[in-house]
Amino acid sequence: MTITKTKRLALDAMLAAMFVVLSLFSITLPGMKITLDSLPILVGAALLGPVDGLAVGLIGSFLNQMITYGFTATTLLWIIPAGLRGLLVGLYAKRHGFDMSLRQTVFITIAAALLVTALNTFFMYVDSWVYSYSYAAALATLALRILAGIITAVLFSLLLPALLKALRRLLGTEKTDKGD
């Protein structure tokens, strides 16, 4: 059974809203932010695919930027990493028939976390150039940001299979064995 367009849109909206709420409960340190906001992106991407993962990431991140900073010269840069996380995970999940093993889930969430960290580091550089502030904190905390991204990705990889199974059951899209 497939998910109707209405359910899909509603689910994307709820996941984007969850992204915003989770991003508001973050720990902000000089040069880094520790947050659980990417979990809804991963859920949307692994459950629904690349377009939905991209949409949840872009919309959730855009709304968070608007609430936190308003629209600035670099707002559009800051929403790209979250969107690409959703796109990358969604493409990988789709390629594997939306049935990834734990090893595959760990791999793609870590790969996406490293991509996001690299992009955020570059965008911090651009932002520091545009707004004339020091980029040193971003470079000084790069190793910590990479480590935090990997730890968070592994944590999400452990949670994701159970979340996806529950959501598939709730949506009536769970896979059954052919012998049933």
What would the pLDDT profile of 105-133 be if each residue is shown by its tens digit? 999 999 999 999 999 999 999 999 999 88
> 126: helix, coil or strand?
helix
Q: For the domain that residue 49 is a member of, what is the CATH number? A: 1.10.1760.20
Q: Is residue 164 part of a domain?
A: yes
Determine the structural domain holding residue 129 and report its residue range. Answer: 5-171
Q: What is the count of structural domains for the chain? A: 1
Cα–Cα distance between 33 and 120 in angstroms, integer? 11
CB 26, CB 67: distance < 8 Å:
no
Find, among 168, 163, 175, the residue nearest to 40 by Cα.
Answer: 163
Q: Is residue 177 part of a domain?
A: no
Q: Is residue 178 part of a domain?
A: no
pTM of the model: 0.90
Q: Is residue 180 part of a domain?
A: no
Cα–Cα distance between 33 and 81 in angstroms, integer? 14
> pLDDT, tens digit, for every residue of 126-164?
999 999 888 887 788 888 889 999 999 999 999 999 999
Torsion over CA of 80, 85, 86 and 92, rounded to 10 degrees? 140
